[in-house]
Amino acid sequence: MTLINAKPNKTYIIIGFNGGPNLIQRLYSMGLYPGARIQIVSVAPLRGPLMVKNIDNGIQIALGRGIVSKIIVTEA
Amino acid sequence: MKRVALIGQPNCGKSALFNAIAGYKANSSHFPGTTVEILTSEVIYKDETFELVDLPGSYSLSPFDKAEEVNTLFILKENFDLIINVIDASILNRSLELTIEILDIGKPTIVVLNMMDEAKKKGIKIDIEKLSSILGVPVIPTIALYGEGVDNLLNNVIKILKNPRNAKPITLNSTIEAIVNKLSSYFKEREEKRFIAFKGIEWPELKNHIKIPREFFVEIERINEEIEKIYGKDIKEFIFSERHHLSMKIAEEVVKISHTIEKTMEEKIDKILYHPFWGYIIFLLSFILVLLLIFKIGGFLEEIFVYPFDILSAKFQTIKAAKIIKPFINGTLEGTMGAIGVIIPFMVPVIFFISLFEETGFLARSAFLFDSFMHKIGLHGKSIPPLIMGFGCNVPAISATRIIESERDRIITALLIPFIPCSARTIIISALVSKFLGVWWALFIYLISIVIAIIISLIASKLIKYPAPGLIMEIPGFKIPSMKNVLIKTWLQLKPFLFYAVPILILGSIFIEYFKLYGAESIINGILRPITYVLNLPSQTGFTLIFGFLRKELALLMLGQSLGVKITEITSVLTPLQILSFTIFTTLYVPCLATLLILKKEFNGKIATISLILNVTVALLVTTLIIQILKITGI
């Protein structure tokens, strides 16, 4: 499944990405990489961005929906 | 002079370290990518002198936006003797990816493990000696915010500058090593050939900045095909995922986690701040509250500050002086009174609150909260922090647009910023409208500027269609602000005002007195009469508009002077409607000189010209419209 279908406040593990190498590199270097345990901690209204938190190190990243739908995850 | 470059990821406390070393000459910030201007400082330590360069925060040396390009281009084009790589010790694995890139450059390097207190709070213990032996460079622990470890760092810097030892790159897997060895042979003449070869693969735009032989790219294409066949990955991904694995491995070897992260008080506050409902309520309420506070505090301070000048000015009225000297005395007095009595009381609270917004991380949060709204008007969330910074001063706000990846969004945002009432315009709004017409009229002017920005953005996004790219932005955790940092930041922004703007204000006041004496004023007033006429203003105000172009607050000082009254008694010569008209027009009419110059520097002369024409047109239209409506409805 992709992160867009994930439920808030539940832990997921990233298993891969559907995007181009530039996007993937950015996500890696910001702290979202395969194997990372993440949670959606907030969803902005009106189809706004999602706040994704790497629960291993506490990094929080705001991601637009287009990008969120490119992150493949599995339930932890 | 020897040169030392500070490089680190956003929010690693790099600016705090720069401040601790350079004696608070840089602007330390909480919002990713605020340090867009390169700050430098001469550092003297134990009889040794070197130049410290604070480069913008960057996740990687394969740039993603304009701010990050600065780092890579600095490394390739500038001379420097030592790199200090600042790392947030609490997120070692992520930070080491940048460190591995930096070691590829092969220059003398020191790694600073900053925010050791944060790491300790999270139960993270790092074996510093082991890390140092793996990386092959000195590793120094610090808590820059409190100056801890800075002496130790400086001792090491001096030692290495005297006895430089180049860092050795950390080797990746044998396939990548073979590739990079082959590709770096194209740059034999350069010391940092390994780094250039990697960047040539990872960042193709490199060819716009340094000379790269065509065969280099042919070779990459060939290798890429091979890698894709064997590993099913793009060569770029093959390299950065390897770098990632390596840094995870190093972190695992040196980090021990003793207890799991507990939910702190700050995390709980954070949860409310980006709540899909309460987040907005808190944001809007604090925004309005801050504006009201600024009006109140400013008004209160103004009365205290103006009083001694009133007495002085009464004393001077009785002095008999030659006709040629009198304007000089009057002008100096008026200018000083305006600067210290009127402007500083309003300016200090504005800068203070904007700094507070930045320190808490509220500014970064606004990007998340307002992203979907910004998409509706054709931009995205990253435009919000520069726009809010614009309420402090438009100039750094325009520089801050560099964090926006798409050039189109960057230009539109930069054109919107001059419509945001900066602190100078807040002074005019506070001292005239809030004081004589009431705070609600003052808030109304803010509302007008925001609505104008929205409309222009809507029109611009219709004209230049382009799917807005998705938001990717790190939001640093909410922090209870350090008062010390907020006050330092306020002082840093006030300082140039005191030394640069106050003399201009006084000179301007002296000028206007002489202009009046020789009648030059009335000529300019005559030329500008069509404008002042449609704005329903007395012709004497025409002259003040010219000065407002230099510095917006100058228009306020000049207003009293041209009409021959003190600002605090302006109602004796202007009707409430005229006060409103003057304020709305000066708020919108032209970007000040400094703003136009930064637009030209960041973009080009064309963008600066567009901005100028846009502002004048909109200001004339909107002010006349509002005045006519108010006249007809008789409010």
Candidates A31, A46, A63; nearest CB to B94: A31
Considering the domain architecture, whether residues B55 and B147 belong to the same structural domain is answered as yes
How many independent structural domains does chain B possess?
A: 3
Identity of the residue in B64, B98, B368 whose CB atom sits nearest the CB atom of A51: B368
* A57 touching B (Cβ < 8 Å): yes
Q: Is the pLDDT of residue B114 over 90?
A: yes
Give the number of other Cβ atoms within 10 Å of residue B479's Cβ: 14
B454 and B489, same domain (yes or no): yes
The yes-or-no verdict on residue B127 having pLDDT over 90 is yes
pLDDT of residue B276: 83
B276–chain A Cβ distance below 8 A for any pair? yes
The answer to whether position A20 is within a domain reads: yes
B150/B294 same-domain check: no
Letter string b/e over residues A24-45, b meaning 16 or more CB atoms within 10 A of that residue's CB: bbbbbbbbbbbebebbbbbebe
The DSSP line for B520-532 is HHHHHHHHTHHHH
The predicted pLDDT at position B28 comes to 39
Render B529-543 in DSSP notation, one character per residue: HHHHHHTT--TTHHH
- pLDDT-derived band at B134, boundaries 50, 70, 90: very high
Q: Does B268 reside within a domain?
A: no
State mean pLDDT over B220-240: 91
Query: CB of B371 within 8 Å of any CB in chain A?
Result: yes
Of A45, A62, A66, the CB nearest to B367: A62
Radius of gyration of chain A (CA): 11
The predicted-structure confidence for B403-413, as pLDDT tens digits, reads as follows: 788 888 899 99
Q: Chain B partners of A11 at a C-beta cutoff of 8 Å?
A: none
Is the pLDDT assigned to residue B497 strictly greater than 50? yes
pLDDT at B257 over 90: no
Provide the token pair at B262.
């507990």
Q: What is this model's ipTM?
A: 0.93
Please report whether residue B262 resides in a domain. Answer: no
B334 pLDDT higher than 80: no
Contact B241 A28 (CB under 8 A): yes
Whether residue A13 lies inside any domain: the answer is: yes
The mean per-residue pLDDT over the stretch B173-198 comes to 92
Q: Does B93 touch chain A (CB under 8 A)?
A: yes
DSSP class of residue B145 equals G
Q: Is A51 on the interface with B (CB under 8 A)?
A: yes
| Cβ pairs bridging A and B (under 8 Å) | 117
pLDDT of the residue at B36: 46
Q: What is the pLDDT of residues B415-437, one digit of tens each?
A: 999 999 988 898 889 888 988 99
Q: Is A42 on the interface with B (CB under 8 A)?
A: yes
Q: Which chain A residues are Cβ-neighbours of B470 within 8 angstroms?
A: 63-67
- Is residue A14 less than 8 Å (CB to CB) from chain B? no
* pLDDT tops 80 at residue B32: no
Least confident of B124-133, B335-344, B361-370, B449-458: B335-344
pLDDT of residue B472 exceeding 70: yes
> What is the pLDDT, as a whole number, of residue B609?
94
B168 found inside a domain? no
Any chain A CB within 8 A of the CB of B207?
Answer: no
Q: Please enumerate in sequence order all residues whose Cβ is within 8 A of that of B287, keeping only pairs 6 or more positions apart, or say none.
A: none
Are the C-beta atoms of B126 and B119 separated by less than 8 Å?
A: yes
Q: Residue B33 above 60 pLDDT?
A: no
Please identify, among B162, B195, B224, the residue that sits at the C-terminal boundary of a domain. B162
Tokens of B583: 């304020």
Q: Which residue of A has its CA nearest to B234?
A: A21
B249 touches chain A (CB under 8 A): no
For residues B181 and B49, membership in a common domain is answered with: no
Contact assignment for B474 to A61 by CB distance below 8 Å: yes
Partners of residue B380 in chain A, C-beta under 8 Å: 64
Tens-digit pLDDT profile for residues B590-600: 888 888 888 88
Give me the DSSP letters along B4-16. EEEEE-TTSSHHH
- Least confident span in A29-38, B213-222, B455-464: B455-464
**B299 — contact with chain A (CB < 8 Å)?**
no
Structural domain contains residue B263:
no
Tally of structural domains, chain A = 1
The whole-angstrom separation of Cα B113 and Cα B87 is 5
Banded model confidence at residue B585, pLDDT cuts 50, 70, 90? very high
pLDDT, one tens digit per residue, over B62-99 is 988 877 888 898 898 888 999 999 999 989 989 999 99
Say whether both B138 and B196 belong to one domain. no
Instruction: Tell me, yes or no, if B120 comes closer than 8 A to chain A by beta carbon.
Output: no
Q: Give me B465's structure tokens.
A: 């269609």
Q: CATH number for the domain including A47?
A: 2.30.30.90
Residues B94, A22: C-beta atoms closer than 8 Å: no
Q: Quick check: A61 pLDDT over 80?
A: yes
Task: Please say whether the beta carbons of B295 and B349 come within 8 A.
Answer: no
Are the C-beta atoms of residues B106 and B166 closer than 8 Å to each other?
yes
The answer to whether residues B623 and B475 belong to one domain is yes
User: Are residues B352 and B435 part of one domain?
Assistant: yes
Select the residue of A26, A51, A60 nearest B472 (Cβ to Cβ). A26
A73 in contact with chain B, both atoms CB, cutoff 8 A: no
Q: Are B385 and B400 in contact (CB under 8 A)?
A: yes
Interchain pair B371, A45: CB under 8 A: no
Whether residue B351 contacts residue B493, with contact meaning beta carbons closer than 8 Å, is answered with yes
Give the C-alpha separation, B509 to B330, whole Å.
Answer: 8
Separation CA B303–CA B295 (nearest Å)? 12
Domain of B85, CATH number, reads: 3.40.50.300
What pLDDT does B34 receive?
40
Q: What H or E segment, with its residue span, contains residue B473? A: strand B472-474
Q: B157 and B43 in contact (C-beta within 8 Å)?
A: no
Q: How close A4 comes to chain B (CA, Å)?
A: 14
Residue B273 lies in a domain: no
Q: Is the pLDDT of residue A71 over 80?
A: yes
CB contact under 8 A, A58 and B90: yes
Which of B162, B196, B226 finishes a domain?
A: B162
The nearest CA of chain B is from the CA of A27 a distance in Å of: 8
User: Which amino acid is present at B491?
Assistant: W
Contact B248, A36 (CB under 8 A): no
Q: Shortest CB distance from B471 goes to which of A30, A31, A63? A: A63
Determine the pLDDT at residue B59: 93
- Nearest partner of B131 among B101, B165, B87, judged by Cα: B87
Q: What percent of chain B has pLDDT over 70?
A: 95
Mark yes or no for CB contact A46/B234 under 8 Å. no
Chain B positions touching A63 (Cβ under 8 A) are 470-472
Average pLDDT over residues B33-42: 61
Paired tokens of B380 = 């995205």
Residue A76 domain-assigned (yes or no) = no
**Are A60 and B474 an interchain contact pair (Cβ–Cβ within 8 Å)?**
yes
Same domain for B522 and B411, yes or no, is: yes
| Two tokens, residue B203 | 């960042």
pLDDT of amino acid B35: 41
Quick one: pLDDT at residue B261? 59
Q: Is the pLDDT of residue B586 over 80?
A: yes
Distance from CA of A5 to the nearest CA of B (A): 17
**Average pLDDT of chain B?**
86
Whether residue B399 is contained in a domain is answered as yes
Q: Which of B199, B222, B257 is the last residue of a domain?
A: B257
Q: Kindly state whether residues B54 and B203 are assigned to the same domain.
A: no
Q: Which residues of A touch B72 (CB under 8 A)?
A: none
Closest residue on chain B to A26 (Cα)? B64
Q: Residues 534..573 of B with a Cβ closer than 8 Å to A: which?
A: none
Over residues B196-222, mean pLDDT:
91
Q: Assign B260 a pLDDT band (cuts: 50, 70, 90).
A: low
Q: How far is B305 from chain A (nearest CA, A)?
A: 45
Contact B396, A69 (CB under 8 A): no
Considering only the beta carbons, identify the residue of B60, B90, B240 that sits closest to A57: B90
Is A41 at the interface with chain B, CB within 8 A? yes
Nearest residue on chain A to B467, alpha-carbon basis: A66
Chain B, nearest residue to A16 by Cα: B241
Instruction: Please say whether the beta carbons of A60 and A52 come within 8 A.
Output: yes
B224/A contact by beta carbon, under 8 A? no
Q: Is there a contact between A28 and B368 if contact means CB atoms under 8 Å apart?
A: no
In a domain, B269, yes or no: no
Residues of B in contact with A36 (CB under 8 A): none
**What is the structure's pLDDT at B70?**
83
Residues B546 and B555: their CA atoms lie apart, in Å, by 8
Do B367 and B470 lie in a common domain? yes
Low-confidence winner among B114-128, B316-330, B361-375, B522-536 (lowest mean pLDDT): B316-330
Structural domain boundaries enclosing B110: 2-162
Cβ–Cβ under 8 Å, residues B351 and B494: yes
Range of the domain at A29: 3-71
Give B183's contacts (C-beta < 8 A, 6+ positions apart): B197, B200, B201, B216, B219, B220
**How would residue B30 be classed by pLDDT, with cut points 50, 70 and 90?**
very low
Residue A52 counted as domain residue: yes
Contact of B6 with chain A, judged by CB distance below 8 Å, is answered with no
Contact B371 A44 (CB under 8 A): yes
B627 located within any domain: yes
For Cα atoms B474, B478, B479, give the angle at the middle one, nearest 5 degrees.
125
Confidence band, pLDDT 50/70/90 cuts, at residue B520: confident
Which residues of chain A lie closer than 8 angstroms to B382, CB-CB?
none
| Within a domain: A10 | yes
Cα–Cα dist B86/A26, whole Å: 19
Strands A12-17 and A71-75: antiparallel
How far, rounded to the nearest angstrom, does the alpha carbon of residue B25 sit from its chain's CA centroid?
Answer: 15
Q: Give the CATH number of the domain where residue B216 resides.
A: 1.10.287
Measure the CA–CA gap between B184 and A48, rounded to whole angstroms.
44
Lowest-confidence segment of B122-136, B441-455, B467-481 by average pLDDT: B467-481
Average pLDDT of chain A, as a whole number = 92
**Are B365 and B485 contained in the same domain?**
yes
- Distance from chain centroid for Cα B424: 17
